[in-house]
Amino acid sequence: MMTEPNSEQLSTDPAQILREAGLRATQQRTSVLTILAASTDHPTVDDVYDKARQLDDSVSIATIYRTMLLLETAGLIRKLTFDDAPARYEMTPNRDHDHLIDIDTGELIEIPGREISELRARIVNDLGYDVVSQHTILRGRRKH
Amino acid sequence: MMTEPNSEQLSTDPAQILREAGLRATQQRTSVLTILAASTDHPTVDDVYDKARQLDDSVSIATIYRTMLLLETAGLIRKLTFDDAPARYEMTPNRDHDHLIDIDTGELIEIPGREISELRARIVNDLGYDVVSQHTILRGRRKH
DNA sequence: ATTAATGCAAAGCTTTTGCATTTTC
DNA sequence: GAAAATGCAAAAGCTTTGCATTAAT
């Protein structure tokens, strides 16, 4: 019992997370996952690429793109697409949250919790913003 | 009094709508606006381009792009961006509504009304869908 | 040893832009 | 007639892909 590192078996080691997802734990993938786990902002592919090159200056942008798609498909990371700006990524959040974009600065602000619209509007207000527009994207699957 | 076509002065003529917005009413812009007004789906730039060429086979794709941006900036149309799919457009809706994407078919379904999350979920359910994920994008402006 | 992943460079798409010509007001 | 919009073609992103090489299991 005491030899178990953790009763819930939750891996924090990127390489192990990859293997548990049935993926090969390459150095590049491990780097990407480490970078994303350490990011509090929502980095773009280019941001991740730059940081990955600081760890290993031979990584290619193609691998970053392939890795982002792989991790997204595996459900380990989440892709955020806002208008035409390059996609941003975050580790898959435990609890769902919304995003507020500052239309003047482009700043991306997380809004915790799954609130109803009215409450959400109040929260945004408390953050010091006026809501210019809001739009919910639902993804569904037709019931069979 | 009886000579007024409409007490609210709402123009339905695309050329007039453009002029009221302070824009030059070119043939190309009029076509684009006419096409969008007649569309119940949410056409992409390419869709609009194809239809515009049926009206005038000399229009260029550059003009369509420029026109879409112009109309969007003027608030006459609304741009919808979903993941990496090419942007889709619709006339600016009177009442806000959400969109449901069928992740299997890519079909885009309008959900009328500005409902709170729980109610929205029920509506989606009534449409015969299970919600796989939902994400609200808020656009705000920092209060000064 | 097999099988998969990577790096490189080229290609693909969508969108934007410079500039001469045409159109709108 | 002056100012703005268009068409064309080239350029500029961002993202994907083919293939030989390298790495993971």
Q: Cα-flanking dihedrals φ and ψ of residue A125, to 5°?
A: -60, -40
Check whether residue A102 and residue A123 sit in a common domain: yes
More confident residue, A105 or A12: A12
Tell me, yes or no, whether A50 lies in a domain: yes
Q: What is the mean pLDDT of residues A2-28?
A: 75
Q: What CATH number did the domain enclosing A81 receive?
A: 1.10.10.10
C-alpha to C-alpha distance for A121 and A119, rounded to whole angstroms: 5
Higher pLDDT, A83 or B61: B61
pLDDT digits (tens, 9 = 90+) for A36-92: 999 988 899 999 999 999 999 999 999 999 999 999 999 899 888 877 778 889 998
In a domain, A129, yes or no: yes
Instruction: Give pLDDT, residue B116.
Output: 58
Number of domains in chain A: 2
Contacting A residues, span 75-94, partner chain B, CB-CB under 8 Å:
79-84, 87
**Looking at per-residue confidence, does B93 or B89 come out higher?**
B89
State the best of B68, B78, B138 to mutate against chain A, taking most chain A CBs within 10 Å. Answer: B138
Reported pTM: 0.75
Q: B68 with B37, same domain?
A: yes
Mark whether B84 and B132 lie in a shared domain.
no
A116 pLDDT above the threshold of 80:
no
* Nearest-CA residue relative to C1' of D14: A86
- Judgement on whether residues A12 and A66 belong to the same structural domain of the protein: yes
Kindly report the CATH number assigned to the domain that includes residue A113. 3.30.1490.190
Predicted confidence (pLDDT) per residue in A77-86, tens digit: 988 887 777 8
Query: Is A2 within the bounds of a domain?
Result: no
The answer to whether residue B135 neighbours chain A at the CB level (below 8 Å) is: yes
Q: Which of A3, A4, A31, A5 is nearest to A18 (CA)?
A: A31
Q: Which domain holds residue A79?
A: 7-91
Long-range contacts of A88-95 (CB under 8 A, 24+ apart): A88/A42, A88/A43, A88/A44, A89/A36, A89/A42, A89/A43, A89/A44, A89/A45, A89/A48, A90/A36, A90/A39, A90/A42, A91/A36, A91/A37
- Do B55 and B120 lie in one domain? The reply is no
Assess whether A79 and A105 both reside in one domain: no
Are A36 and A81 part of one and the same domain? yes
CB contact under 8 A, B101 and A137: yes
**Do A39 and A71 reside in the same domain of the chain?**
yes
The mean pLDDT of chain A is: 79
Mean pLDDT of B35-49: 93
Residues A28 and A87 in one domain: yes
**With an 8 Å Cβ cutoff, is B68 touching chain A?**
no
**pLDDT greater at residue A116 or residue B72:** B72
Nearest C-alpha neighbor of A24 from the set A35, A9, A14: A14
Q: Across residues A22-43, what is the average pLDDT? A: 94
| Token reading at B116 | 């709170």
pLDDT score, position B126:
72
Question: Which range has the top average pLDDT, B55-69, B77-91, B94-108, B117-131?
Answer: B55-69
Please check whether strand D approaches the CB of B66 to within 7 Å: yes
pLDDT higher than threshold 50 for residue B77: yes
The rounded distance, in Å, linking the Cα atoms of B53 and A116 is 44
Is the minimum distance from the CB of A58 to strand C below 7 Å?
yes
Q: Residue B36 falls within a domain, yes or no?
A: yes
pLDDT for B39 beyond 80: yes
Q: Which amino acid is at A41?
A: D
In a domain? residue A48: yes
Query: Average pLDDT for residues B115-125, to the nearest whole number?
Result: 64
B104 interface with A at CB cutoff 8 Å? yes
In a domain, B22, yes or no: yes
CB A34 within 8 Å of CB A14? yes
Residues A28 and A86 in one domain: yes
Q: Is B98 annotated as a binding residue?
A: yes
Q: Does some domain include residue B1?
A: no
Task: Using the 3D structure, point to which of B74, B91, B108 is the last residue of a domain.
Answer: B91
Same structural domain, B52 and B68: yes
Residues A18 and A77 both lie in one domain: yes
Is the pLDDT score of A132 beyond 90?
Answer: no
For residues B115 and A118, give the distance between their C-alpha atoms in angstroms, rounded to a whole number: 9
